[in-house]
A and B are shown apart, each in its own frame.
Chain A
Amino acid sequence: MIAVEDLVVRFDRRGAPAVGGVSFAIAPGSTFGLVGESGCGKSTVLRAIAGLIPGHGGRVLIDGKPVPERRDKPFFSRVQMVFQDPYGSLHPRQTIAAQLAEPLRNLGLDRSPGRVADALVAVGLDPAFQWRFPHELSGGQRQRVAIARALIVEPQVLLLDEPTSALDVSVQAEILNLLTALRRERGLTYLLVSHDLAVVSHMCSRLAVMQRGHIVEELEVEALRARRVTHPYTAELLAASEAYG
Protein backbone atom coordinates (compact mmCIF):
# COMPACT_ATOMS: atom_id res chain seq x y z
CA MET A 1 0.00 0.00 0.00
CA ILE A 2 2.64 2.47 1.12
CA ALA A 3 6.39 2.03 0.98
CA VAL A 4 9.57 4.00 1.38
CA GLU A 5 12.81 3.23 -0.42
CA ASP A 6 16.17 4.40 0.85
CA LEU A 7 14.74 7.44 2.65
CA VAL A 8 17.47 9.87 3.71
CA VAL A 9 16.96 13.05 5.76
CA ARG A 10 19.76 15.43 6.60
CA PHE A 11 19.28 18.45 8.85
CA ASP A 12 22.99 19.19 9.07
CA ARG A 13 25.11 18.92 5.95
CA ARG A 14 28.23 17.79 7.81
CA GLY A 15 26.88 15.59 10.58
CA ALA A 16 25.36 12.12 10.39
CA PRO A 17 21.97 12.06 8.64
CA ALA A 18 18.88 12.00 10.89
CA VAL A 19 17.55 9.21 8.72
CA GLY A 20 20.23 7.31 6.87
CA GLY A 21 18.58 5.17 4.22
CA VAL A 22 15.40 3.58 5.54
CA SER A 23 13.23 1.20 3.50
CA PHE A 24 10.06 -0.70 4.33
CA ALA A 25 6.75 -1.61 2.74
CA ILE A 26 3.35 -1.87 4.44
CA ALA A 27 0.70 -4.33 3.30
CA PRO A 28 -2.81 -2.89 2.72
CA GLY A 29 -5.05 -3.07 5.76
CA SER A 30 -2.23 -3.77 8.20
CA THR A 31 -0.50 -1.76 10.91
CA PHE A 32 3.25 -1.31 10.72
CA GLY A 33 5.12 -0.08 13.79
CA LEU A 34 8.24 2.05 13.89
CA VAL A 35 9.86 1.92 17.34
CA GLY A 36 12.94 3.41 18.92
CA GLU A 37 14.11 5.90 21.50
CA SER A 38 14.28 9.71 21.36
CA GLY A 39 16.29 10.96 18.43
CA CYS A 40 16.39 7.68 16.50
CA GLY A 41 14.60 9.27 13.54
CA LYS A 42 11.26 7.49 13.77
CA SER A 43 9.12 10.64 13.77
CA THR A 44 11.34 12.17 11.09
CA VAL A 45 10.51 9.24 8.80
CA LEU A 46 6.82 9.90 9.36
CA ARG A 47 7.14 13.62 8.75
CA ALA A 48 9.16 13.05 5.60
CA ILE A 49 6.47 10.72 4.24
CA ALA A 50 3.83 13.36 5.00
CA GLY A 51 5.83 15.92 3.04
CA LEU A 52 6.67 18.01 6.10
CA ILE A 53 10.40 17.74 5.41
CA PRO A 54 11.15 19.03 1.92
CA GLY A 55 14.29 17.83 0.19
CA HIS A 56 14.55 14.34 1.61
CA GLY A 57 16.34 11.65 -0.37
CA GLY A 58 14.86 8.36 -1.52
CA ARG A 59 11.32 7.61 -2.63
CA VAL A 60 7.89 7.35 -1.06
CA LEU A 61 5.57 5.02 -2.99
CA ILE A 62 1.82 4.57 -2.84
CA ASP A 63 0.51 1.53 -4.67
CA GLY A 64 3.94 1.25 -6.26
CA LYS A 65 3.89 4.78 -7.71
CA PRO A 66 6.25 7.45 -6.39
CA VAL A 67 4.54 10.46 -4.80
CA PRO A 68 5.48 13.94 -6.01
CA GLU A 69 8.19 15.87 -4.15
CA ARG A 70 5.62 18.49 -3.26
CA ARG A 71 2.72 16.44 -1.91
CA ASP A 72 -0.46 17.17 -3.84
CA LYS A 73 -4.20 16.89 -3.25
CA PRO A 74 -4.42 13.28 -4.47
CA PHE A 75 -1.72 12.39 -1.90
CA PHE A 76 -3.48 14.08 1.03
CA SER A 77 -6.80 12.56 0.04
CA ARG A 78 -5.18 9.13 0.50
CA VAL A 79 -2.74 9.81 3.37
CA GLN A 80 -3.50 11.72 6.58
CA MET A 81 -1.60 12.18 9.83
CA VAL A 82 -2.49 12.19 13.55
CA PHE A 83 -0.05 13.96 15.83
CA GLN A 84 1.08 13.11 19.35
CA ASP A 85 -0.19 16.01 21.33
CA PRO A 86 -3.93 16.71 21.05
CA TYR A 87 -3.32 19.93 22.98
CA GLY A 88 -0.96 21.28 20.33
CA SER A 89 -2.48 19.89 17.15
CA LEU A 90 -5.90 21.56 17.33
CA HIS A 91 -6.39 25.28 16.78
CA PRO A 92 -7.32 26.80 20.16
CA ARG A 93 -9.62 29.49 18.74
CA GLN A 94 -11.55 27.57 16.13
CA THR A 95 -14.62 25.48 16.77
CA ILE A 96 -14.34 21.76 16.19
CA ALA A 97 -16.68 22.15 13.20
CA ALA A 98 -14.34 24.65 11.54
CA GLN A 99 -11.34 22.40 12.10
CA LEU A 100 -13.07 19.35 10.72
CA ALA A 101 -14.22 21.26 7.63
CA GLU A 102 -10.73 22.56 6.85
CA PRO A 103 -9.30 19.42 5.23
CA LEU A 104 -12.50 19.11 3.19
CA ARG A 105 -12.08 22.67 1.94
CA ASN A 106 -8.39 22.14 1.20
CA LEU A 107 -9.16 19.13 -0.94
CA GLY A 108 -12.26 20.67 -2.56
CA LEU A 109 -14.63 18.08 -1.12
CA ASP A 110 -18.26 18.30 -0.08
CA ARG A 111 -18.55 20.35 3.12
CA SER A 112 -22.14 19.66 4.12
CA PRO A 113 -22.75 19.88 7.90
CA GLY A 114 -23.84 16.25 7.94
CA ARG A 115 -20.32 15.21 7.04
CA VAL A 116 -18.83 16.89 10.12
CA ALA A 117 -21.46 15.33 12.37
CA ASP A 118 -20.85 11.89 10.84
CA ALA A 119 -17.11 12.23 11.38
CA LEU A 120 -17.68 12.92 15.09
CA VAL A 121 -20.08 10.01 15.46
CA ALA A 122 -17.54 7.72 13.79
CA VAL A 123 -15.01 8.43 16.56
CA GLY A 124 -17.57 8.03 19.34
CA LEU A 125 -18.35 11.71 20.00
CA ASP A 126 -21.73 13.41 20.13
CA PRO A 127 -22.31 15.62 17.05
CA ALA A 128 -22.94 18.54 19.45
CA PHE A 129 -19.19 18.61 20.07
CA GLN A 130 -18.76 20.46 16.77
CA TRP A 131 -19.80 23.73 18.43
CA ARG A 132 -17.18 23.48 21.14
CA PHE A 133 -13.61 24.74 21.33
CA PRO A 134 -10.64 22.45 22.07
CA HIS A 135 -10.22 23.75 25.66
CA GLU A 136 -13.69 22.45 26.48
CA LEU A 137 -12.61 18.89 25.66
CA SER A 138 -10.57 16.36 27.62
CA GLY A 139 -7.30 14.98 26.21
CA GLY A 140 -8.97 11.80 25.01
CA GLN A 141 -11.82 13.71 23.36
CA ARG A 142 -9.31 15.97 21.60
CA GLN A 143 -7.44 12.98 20.24
CA ARG A 144 -10.76 11.62 18.95
CA VAL A 145 -11.31 14.95 17.17
CA ALA A 146 -7.79 14.74 15.68
CA ILE A 147 -8.60 11.25 14.40
CA ALA A 148 -11.94 12.47 13.03
CA ARG A 149 -10.15 15.29 11.23
CA ALA A 150 -7.75 12.85 9.61
CA LEU A 151 -10.52 10.45 8.61
CA ILE A 152 -13.02 13.00 7.31
CA VAL A 153 -11.41 13.01 3.85
CA GLU A 154 -11.71 9.20 3.78
CA PRO A 155 -8.03 8.42 3.36
CA GLN A 156 -6.57 4.93 2.97
CA VAL A 157 -3.46 5.46 5.08
CA LEU A 158 -3.07 7.05 8.51
CA LEU A 159 0.33 8.15 9.79
CA LEU A 160 0.12 7.97 13.60
CA ASP A 161 2.84 9.77 15.57
CA GLU A 162 2.71 8.53 19.20
CA PRO A 163 -1.07 8.94 19.19
CA THR A 164 -1.58 7.93 22.84
CA SER A 165 1.62 8.85 24.66
CA ALA A 166 0.12 12.07 26.06
CA LEU A 167 -2.92 10.21 27.45
CA ASP A 168 -3.71 8.33 30.66
CA VAL A 169 -3.68 4.54 30.32
CA SER A 170 -7.44 4.14 30.64
CA VAL A 171 -7.92 6.73 27.88
CA GLN A 172 -5.13 5.16 25.85
CA ALA A 173 -7.04 1.86 25.86
CA GLU A 174 -10.14 3.61 24.46
CA ILE A 175 -8.20 5.34 21.68
CA LEU A 176 -6.29 2.17 20.72
CA ASN A 177 -9.57 0.24 20.55
CA LEU A 178 -11.10 3.01 18.42
CA LEU A 179 -8.15 2.95 15.99
CA THR A 180 -8.34 -0.83 15.69
CA ALA A 181 -12.11 -0.76 15.07
CA LEU A 182 -11.80 1.97 12.42
CA ARG A 183 -9.03 0.09 10.64
CA ARG A 184 -11.15 -3.05 10.43
CA GLU A 185 -14.33 -1.23 9.35
CA ARG A 186 -12.67 0.84 6.68
CA GLY A 187 -9.75 -1.35 5.65
CA LEU A 188 -7.26 1.37 6.63
CA THR A 189 -3.49 0.99 6.62
CA TYR A 190 -1.60 2.43 9.60
CA LEU A 191 1.99 3.46 10.11
CA LEU A 192 2.38 3.82 13.88
CA VAL A 193 5.38 5.52 15.45
CA SER A 194 5.83 4.77 19.15
CA HIS A 195 8.44 4.41 21.85
CA ASP A 196 6.19 1.97 23.71
CA LEU A 197 6.75 -1.68 22.82
CA ALA A 198 3.53 -2.72 24.57
CA VAL A 199 1.46 -0.38 22.38
CA VAL A 200 3.27 -1.54 19.25
CA SER A 201 2.81 -5.19 20.18
CA HIS A 202 -0.89 -4.57 20.72
CA MET A 203 -1.48 -2.66 17.47
CA CYS A 204 0.92 -3.91 14.83
CA SER A 205 1.41 -6.98 12.70
CA ARG A 206 4.96 -6.02 11.70
CA LEU A 207 7.45 -3.58 13.12
CA ALA A 208 10.85 -2.06 12.51
CA VAL A 209 13.26 -1.04 15.25
CA MET A 210 15.24 2.13 14.61
CA GLN A 211 18.48 3.31 16.14
CA ARG A 212 20.49 6.36 15.08
CA GLY A 213 18.61 6.87 11.83
CA HIS A 214 18.72 3.25 10.65
CA ILE A 215 16.41 0.28 10.86
CA VAL A 216 18.37 -2.34 12.79
CA GLU A 217 15.71 -5.03 12.65
CA GLU A 218 12.35 -5.66 11.03
CA LEU A 219 10.19 -8.42 12.46
CA GLU A 220 6.73 -9.92 12.77
CA VAL A 221 4.92 -9.04 15.97
CA GLU A 222 4.75 -12.75 16.89
CA ALA A 223 8.55 -12.80 17.02
CA LEU A 224 8.56 -9.80 19.37
CA ARG A 225 5.95 -11.36 21.62
CA ALA A 226 7.94 -14.61 21.74
CA ARG A 227 11.20 -12.69 22.36
CA ARG A 228 12.67 -14.06 19.13
CA VAL A 229 14.69 -10.95 18.33
CA THR A 230 18.06 -11.01 16.60
CA HIS A 231 19.61 -7.55 16.94
CA PRO A 232 21.23 -6.74 20.32
CA TYR A 233 19.60 -3.31 20.40
CA THR A 234 16.12 -4.82 20.01
CA ALA A 235 16.96 -7.21 22.83
CA GLU A 236 18.12 -4.30 25.01
CA LEU A 237 14.96 -2.32 24.29
CA LEU A 238 12.81 -5.35 25.06
CA ALA A 239 14.65 -6.08 28.30
CA ALA A 240 14.37 -2.44 29.45
CA SER A 241 10.66 -2.38 28.61
CA GLU A 242 10.06 -5.63 30.47
CA ALA A 243 12.03 -4.56 33.55
CA TYR A 244 9.39 -2.07 34.60
CA GLY A 245 6.52 -2.91 32.28
Chain B
Amino acid sequence: MAQPLVAVRELRVGFRTKAGIVDAVRGVGFDLGREKLGIVGESGSGKSTVGRALMRLLPRSAAVRAERLAVCGTDVLTASDRTMRDIRGGRIGLIMQDPKYSLNPVVTVGEQIAEVFRLHRPEYAGKRAAREATLSILEQVKIRDPERVASLYPHQVSGGMGQRVMIASVLAGGPDVLIADEPTSALDVTVRLEVLALLDELVASRGLGLIFISHDLNLVRKFCDRVLIMYAGRVVEALAARDLGNATHPYTRGLLASMPHIHEPRDPLPTLVRDPAWREPA
Protein backbone atom coordinates (compact mmCIF):
# COMPACT_ATOMS: atom_id res chain seq x y z
CA MET B 1 0.00 0.00 0.00
CA ALA B 2 1.12 3.53 -0.76
CA GLN B 3 1.36 5.96 2.12
CA PRO B 4 -1.88 5.69 4.12
CA LEU B 5 -4.17 8.73 4.29
CA VAL B 6 -4.25 8.45 8.04
CA ALA B 7 -1.69 6.68 10.22
CA VAL B 8 -2.23 6.24 13.95
CA ARG B 9 0.11 4.39 16.32
CA GLU B 10 -0.25 4.07 20.10
CA LEU B 11 -2.62 7.03 20.40
CA ARG B 12 -3.34 7.97 24.00
CA VAL B 13 -5.66 10.73 25.16
CA GLY B 14 -6.16 11.68 28.80
CA PHE B 15 -8.49 14.36 30.11
CA ARG B 16 -7.41 16.32 33.15
CA THR B 17 -10.36 16.61 35.52
CA LYS B 18 -10.80 17.59 39.16
CA ALA B 19 -10.83 13.91 40.02
CA GLY B 20 -7.52 13.29 38.26
CA ILE B 21 -6.67 12.16 34.76
CA VAL B 22 -9.28 10.15 32.89
CA ASP B 23 -7.78 8.01 30.15
CA ALA B 24 -10.26 8.16 27.27
CA VAL B 25 -8.06 6.56 24.59
CA ARG B 26 -5.43 4.02 25.63
CA GLY B 27 -3.18 2.93 22.79
CA VAL B 28 -5.16 2.96 19.54
CA GLY B 29 -3.51 2.24 16.20
CA PHE B 30 -4.75 1.88 12.62
CA ASP B 31 -4.10 2.94 9.03
CA LEU B 32 -6.71 4.34 6.70
CA GLY B 33 -6.52 3.92 2.93
CA ARG B 34 -9.15 4.84 0.35
CA GLU B 35 -11.75 2.77 2.13
CA LYS B 36 -14.67 2.97 4.53
CA LEU B 37 -13.44 2.22 8.04
CA GLY B 38 -16.00 1.91 10.82
CA ILE B 39 -15.16 2.65 14.44
CA VAL B 40 -17.83 1.15 16.67
CA GLY B 41 -18.29 1.33 20.39
CA GLU B 42 -20.67 2.36 23.13
CA SER B 43 -20.87 5.71 24.92
CA GLY B 44 -17.55 6.56 26.49
CA SER B 45 -15.53 4.02 24.49
CA GLY B 46 -13.35 6.81 23.06
CA LYS B 47 -14.45 6.50 19.43
CA SER B 48 -15.30 10.18 18.97
CA THR B 49 -12.17 11.25 20.84
CA VAL B 50 -10.04 9.41 18.26
CA GLY B 51 -11.74 11.41 15.47
CA ARG B 52 -11.29 14.70 17.32
CA ALA B 53 -7.62 13.93 18.03
CA LEU B 54 -6.97 13.41 14.31
CA MET B 55 -8.23 16.92 13.65
CA ARG B 56 -6.61 18.36 16.77
CA LEU B 57 -10.00 19.55 17.94
CA LEU B 58 -9.75 18.38 21.54
CA PRO B 59 -9.98 20.91 24.38
CA ARG B 60 -6.93 22.08 26.31
CA SER B 61 -7.74 19.70 29.14
CA ALA B 62 -6.82 16.82 26.83
CA ALA B 63 -3.29 15.42 26.82
CA VAL B 64 -2.67 13.73 23.46
CA ARG B 65 0.30 11.44 22.93
CA ALA B 66 1.10 9.08 20.10
CA GLU B 67 4.01 7.34 18.44
CA ARG B 68 2.49 8.55 15.19
CA LEU B 69 -0.58 10.61 14.36
CA ALA B 70 -0.47 11.67 10.71
CA VAL B 71 -3.04 12.91 8.22
CA CYS B 72 -1.95 12.88 4.55
CA GLY B 73 1.68 12.72 5.68
CA THR B 74 1.48 15.68 8.08
CA ASP B 75 2.24 15.06 11.74
CA VAL B 76 -0.80 16.38 13.58
CA LEU B 77 1.00 16.46 16.93
CA THR B 78 3.71 18.88 15.85
CA ALA B 79 2.08 20.86 13.00
CA SER B 80 1.70 24.62 13.50
CA ASP B 81 -1.75 26.11 14.11
CA ARG B 82 -1.54 27.66 10.66
CA THR B 83 -0.90 24.28 9.02
CA MET B 84 -3.72 22.71 11.03
CA ARG B 85 -6.15 25.35 9.78
CA ASP B 86 -5.35 24.29 6.22
CA ILE B 87 -5.57 20.61 7.04
CA ARG B 88 -8.89 20.89 8.84
CA GLY B 89 -11.41 21.24 6.06
CA GLY B 90 -8.77 21.14 3.32
CA ARG B 91 -7.45 17.59 3.82
CA ILE B 92 -9.75 16.14 6.45
CA GLY B 93 -13.42 17.00 6.92
CA LEU B 94 -15.80 16.30 9.79
CA ILE B 95 -19.48 15.44 9.37
CA MET B 96 -21.26 15.65 12.68
CA GLN B 97 -24.40 14.05 14.02
CA ASP B 98 -26.97 16.77 14.00
CA PRO B 99 -27.07 19.54 11.38
CA LYS B 100 -29.38 21.52 13.70
CA TYR B 101 -26.45 22.13 16.02
CA SER B 102 -23.47 22.05 13.71
CA LEU B 103 -24.55 24.55 11.06
CA ASN B 104 -24.46 28.25 11.92
CA PRO B 105 -28.08 29.23 12.60
CA VAL B 106 -27.76 32.86 11.48
CA VAL B 107 -25.98 32.32 8.14
CA THR B 108 -27.68 30.97 5.03
CA VAL B 109 -26.81 27.49 3.89
CA GLY B 110 -25.28 28.76 0.65
CA GLU B 111 -23.09 31.32 2.41
CA GLN B 112 -21.73 28.65 4.78
CA ILE B 113 -20.70 26.45 1.87
CA ALA B 114 -19.26 29.37 -0.11
CA GLU B 115 -17.12 30.29 2.89
CA VAL B 116 -15.46 26.88 2.78
CA PHE B 117 -14.69 27.33 -0.92
CA ARG B 118 -13.16 30.76 -0.33
CA LEU B 119 -11.04 29.54 2.60
CA HIS B 120 -9.72 26.32 1.14
CA ARG B 121 -9.86 26.58 -2.63
CA PRO B 122 -7.95 29.53 -4.18
CA GLU B 123 -9.57 28.83 -7.55
CA TYR B 124 -12.97 29.72 -6.06
CA ALA B 125 -11.81 32.74 -4.07
CA GLY B 126 -13.98 35.18 -6.05
CA LYS B 127 -17.52 35.79 -4.89
CA ARG B 128 -19.14 34.65 -8.12
CA ALA B 129 -16.91 31.59 -8.51
CA ALA B 130 -17.66 30.54 -4.93
CA ARG B 131 -21.38 30.92 -5.51
CA GLU B 132 -21.32 28.87 -8.70
CA ALA B 133 -19.28 26.17 -7.00
CA THR B 134 -21.77 26.18 -4.11
CA LEU B 135 -24.74 25.60 -6.40
CA SER B 136 -22.85 22.85 -8.20
CA ILE B 137 -21.93 21.01 -5.00
CA LEU B 138 -25.52 21.27 -3.72
CA GLU B 139 -26.55 19.57 -6.92
CA GLN B 140 -23.95 16.86 -6.33
CA VAL B 141 -25.49 16.07 -2.95
CA LYS B 142 -28.79 15.60 -4.81
CA ILE B 143 -30.56 18.76 -3.77
CA ARG B 144 -33.14 19.43 -6.46
CA ASP B 145 -33.44 23.20 -6.27
CA PRO B 146 -29.97 24.46 -5.26
CA GLU B 147 -30.78 28.15 -5.86
CA ARG B 148 -33.66 28.05 -3.40
CA VAL B 149 -31.93 25.88 -0.80
CA ALA B 150 -28.80 28.05 -0.85
CA SER B 151 -30.87 31.00 0.32
CA LEU B 152 -32.40 29.14 3.28
CA TYR B 153 -31.31 29.25 6.91
CA PRO B 154 -30.53 25.95 8.70
CA HIS B 155 -33.82 25.97 10.66
CA GLN B 156 -35.73 26.06 7.38
CA VAL B 157 -34.38 22.74 6.09
CA SER B 158 -35.36 19.22 7.19
CA GLY B 159 -32.98 16.88 9.01
CA GLY B 160 -32.11 14.91 5.89
CA MET B 161 -31.55 18.01 3.81
CA GLY B 162 -29.51 19.55 6.62
CA GLN B 163 -27.25 16.51 6.56
CA ARG B 164 -26.83 16.84 2.76
CA VAL B 165 -25.91 20.49 3.27
CA MET B 166 -23.33 19.49 5.88
CA ILE B 167 -21.87 16.89 3.52
CA ALA B 168 -21.73 19.54 0.76
CA SER B 169 -19.96 22.03 3.02
CA VAL B 170 -17.41 19.42 4.06
CA LEU B 171 -16.76 18.31 0.48
CA ALA B 172 -16.35 21.94 -0.59
CA GLY B 173 -12.96 22.02 1.10
CA GLY B 174 -11.80 19.20 -1.19
CA PRO B 175 -10.67 16.81 1.56
CA ASP B 176 -9.08 13.38 1.05
CA VAL B 177 -10.35 12.06 4.34
CA LEU B 178 -13.82 12.32 5.85
CA ILE B 179 -14.67 11.65 9.46
CA ALA B 180 -18.40 11.04 9.88
CA ASP B 181 -19.35 10.98 13.56
CA GLU B 182 -22.78 9.32 13.91
CA PRO B 183 -23.89 11.06 10.69
CA THR B 184 -27.29 9.39 10.52
CA SER B 185 -28.20 8.79 14.16
CA ALA B 186 -30.52 11.79 14.26
CA LEU B 187 -32.35 10.78 11.06
CA ASP B 188 -35.43 8.66 10.41
CA VAL B 189 -34.75 5.26 8.86
CA THR B 190 -36.04 6.10 5.39
CA VAL B 191 -34.02 9.34 5.27
CA ARG B 192 -30.99 7.58 6.72
CA LEU B 193 -31.00 5.23 3.76
CA GLU B 194 -30.80 8.11 1.27
CA VAL B 195 -28.03 9.91 3.14
CA LEU B 196 -25.95 6.73 3.41
CA ALA B 197 -26.39 6.00 -0.29
CA LEU B 198 -25.22 9.52 -1.07
CA LEU B 199 -22.22 9.25 1.22
CA ASP B 200 -21.28 5.91 -0.27
CA GLU B 201 -21.47 7.27 -3.82
CA LEU B 202 -19.44 10.39 -3.03
CA VAL B 203 -16.72 8.48 -1.17
CA ALA B 204 -16.40 6.06 -4.09
CA SER B 205 -16.51 8.62 -6.91
CA ARG B 206 -13.98 10.92 -5.24
CA GLY B 207 -11.78 8.12 -3.94
CA LEU B 208 -11.91 9.36 -0.35
CA GLY B 209 -10.98 7.63 2.87
CA LEU B 210 -13.88 7.56 5.31
CA ILE B 211 -13.80 7.04 9.07
CA PHE B 212 -17.34 6.21 10.07
CA ILE B 213 -17.88 6.54 13.83
CA SER B 214 -21.02 4.85 15.08
CA HIS B 215 -22.65 3.01 17.95
CA ASP B 216 -24.62 0.91 15.47
CA LEU B 217 -22.90 -2.38 14.66
CA ASN B 218 -25.54 -3.46 12.17
CA LEU B 219 -25.24 -0.28 10.18
CA VAL B 220 -21.46 -0.38 10.11
CA ARG B 221 -21.36 -4.03 9.17
CA LYS B 222 -23.37 -3.31 6.02
CA PHE B 223 -21.93 0.09 5.14
CA CYS B 224 -18.19 -0.15 5.84
CA ASP B 225 -15.32 -2.23 4.46
CA ARG B 226 -13.49 -2.69 7.74
CA VAL B 227 -14.48 -2.29 11.38
CA LEU B 228 -12.62 -1.47 14.59
CA ILE B 229 -14.47 -2.34 17.80
CA MET B 230 -13.55 -0.03 20.68
CA TYR B 231 -14.04 -0.74 24.36
CA ALA B 232 -12.79 1.43 27.23
CA GLY B 233 -10.38 3.39 25.02
CA ARG B 234 -8.83 0.45 23.20
CA VAL B 235 -9.47 -1.38 19.95
CA VAL B 236 -10.46 -4.85 21.15
CA GLU B 237 -11.07 -6.28 17.69
CA ALA B 238 -10.41 -5.26 14.06
CA LEU B 239 -11.94 -7.17 11.19
CA ALA B 240 -13.45 -6.98 7.72
CA ALA B 241 -17.07 -5.86 7.98
CA ARG B 242 -18.33 -8.99 6.24
CA ASP B 243 -16.58 -11.14 8.90
CA LEU B 244 -18.35 -9.47 11.81
CA GLY B 245 -20.56 -12.53 12.20
CA ASN B 246 -17.39 -14.49 13.00
CA ALA B 247 -16.10 -11.98 15.56
CA THR B 248 -14.14 -13.69 18.31
CA HIS B 249 -13.93 -11.06 21.05
CA PRO B 250 -16.60 -11.63 23.72
CA TYR B 251 -17.44 -7.92 23.76
CA THR B 252 -18.16 -7.83 20.02
CA ARG B 253 -20.15 -11.04 20.24
CA GLY B 254 -22.04 -9.74 23.27
CA LEU B 255 -22.95 -6.51 21.50
CA LEU B 256 -24.20 -8.37 18.44
CA ALA B 257 -26.25 -10.73 20.58
CA SER B 258 -27.88 -8.00 22.67
CA MET B 259 -29.57 -6.36 19.68
CA PRO B 260 -33.21 -7.21 19.07
CA HIS B 261 -34.10 -8.44 15.57
CA ILE B 262 -37.28 -7.78 13.65
CA HIS B 263 -37.60 -11.31 12.33
CA GLU B 264 -35.95 -13.50 14.99
CA PRO B 265 -37.49 -12.93 18.38
CA ARG B 266 -35.43 -14.03 21.38
CA ASP B 267 -36.67 -13.78 24.92
CA PRO B 268 -34.97 -12.67 27.05
CA LEU B 269 -32.32 -10.76 25.11
CA PRO B 270 -28.80 -11.89 25.99
CA THR B 271 -27.14 -9.19 28.09
CA LEU B 272 -23.51 -8.28 28.26
CA VAL B 273 -21.47 -9.30 31.28
CA ARG B 274 -18.44 -7.02 31.23
CA ASP B 275 -15.15 -8.68 32.00
CA PRO B 276 -12.50 -6.41 33.60
CA ALA B 277 -9.92 -8.25 31.47
CA TRP B 278 -11.35 -6.56 28.33
CA ARG B 279 -9.83 -3.30 29.52
CA GLU B 280 -6.31 -4.68 29.29
CA PRO B 281 -4.31 -5.39 26.12
CA ALA B 282 -4.71 -8.98 24.97
Task: Name A's B-contacting residues (CB within 8 A).
Answer: 37-38, 139, 168-170, 172-174, 176-177, 180-181, 195, 197-199, 201-202, 224-227, 236-238, 240-245
Contact = CB atoms under 8 A, between A and B. Distances in A.
A170 B258 contact: yes
B242 to A, nearest CB: 14
Given A139-B43, A170-B272, A180-B267, A37 B189 contact: yes
B2 interface: no
A199 B217 CA distance: 15
A169 B255 contact: yes
Interface in B244-263: 254-255, 258-263
A147 to B, nearest CB: 16
* Most A CB within 10 A of own CB, among B196, B260, B266: B260
A198 to B, nearest CB: 4
Nearest to A37: B188
Given A37-B191, A173-B271, 18 more contacts: A37-B189, A168-B42, A168-B43, A169-B42, A169-B217, A169-B259, A170-B271, A173-B259, A176-B269, A198-B261, A202-B265, A202-B266, A225-B264, A225-B265, A240-B190, A243-B193, A244-B223, A245-B218
B268 A180 contact: yes
Contacts of B260: 172-173, 176, 198-199, 201-202
6 contacts: A168-B215, A170-B254, A172-B258, A201-B262, A202-B269, A243-B222
B265 A173 contact: no
Contacts of A169: 42, 215, 217, 255, 258-259
Contacts of B188: 37-38, 195
B222 A244 contact: yes
Decide if the interface of chain A is mainly helix, strand, loop or mixed.
Answer: helix
Nearest to A196: B260
Contacts, number: 91
Contacts of A177: 268-269, 271
Interface in B181-198: 188-193, 196
Interface string B197-228: 00000000000000000011111001100000
Decide if the interface of chain B is mainly helix, strand, loop or mixed.
Answer: loop
A244 B193 contact: yes
Contacts of A180: 267-268
B173 interface: no
A221 B233 CA distance: 39
A149 B163 CA distance: 38
A169 to B, nearest CB: 5
Contacts of A241: 189, 262
Interface of B: 42-43, 159, 188-193, 196, 215-219, 222-223, 254-255, 258-272
A177 B268 CA distance: 6
Contacts of A242: 262
A201 B263 contact: yes
Nearest to A39: B188
A242 B261 CA distance: 9
A25 to B, nearest CB: 23
Contacts of B218: 244-245
Given A173-B271, A244-B196, A244-B222, A236 B262 contact: no
Nearest to B44: A168
A181 B267 CA distance: 10
B270 A238 contact: no
A187 to B, nearest CB: 17
A42 to B, nearest CB: 12
A226 B261 CA distance: 12
B271 A198 contact: no
Contact of A198 (B190, B222, B254, B262): B262
Given A170-B258, A172-B258, A244-B192, A38 B267 contact: no
A180 B266 CA distance: 12
* Most B CB within 10 A of own CB, among A173, A236, A245: A173
Given A38-B188, A237-B189, A244-B218, A224 B42 contact: no
A38 B100 CA distance: 15
A221 to B, nearest CB: 8
A138 to B, nearest CB: 9
Contacts of B267: 180, 202
A236 B259 contact: no
Nearest to A176: B269
Nearest to B43: A168
B189 A195 contact: yes
Contacts of A195: 188-189
A122 B270 CA distance: 20
A197 B188 CA distance: 12
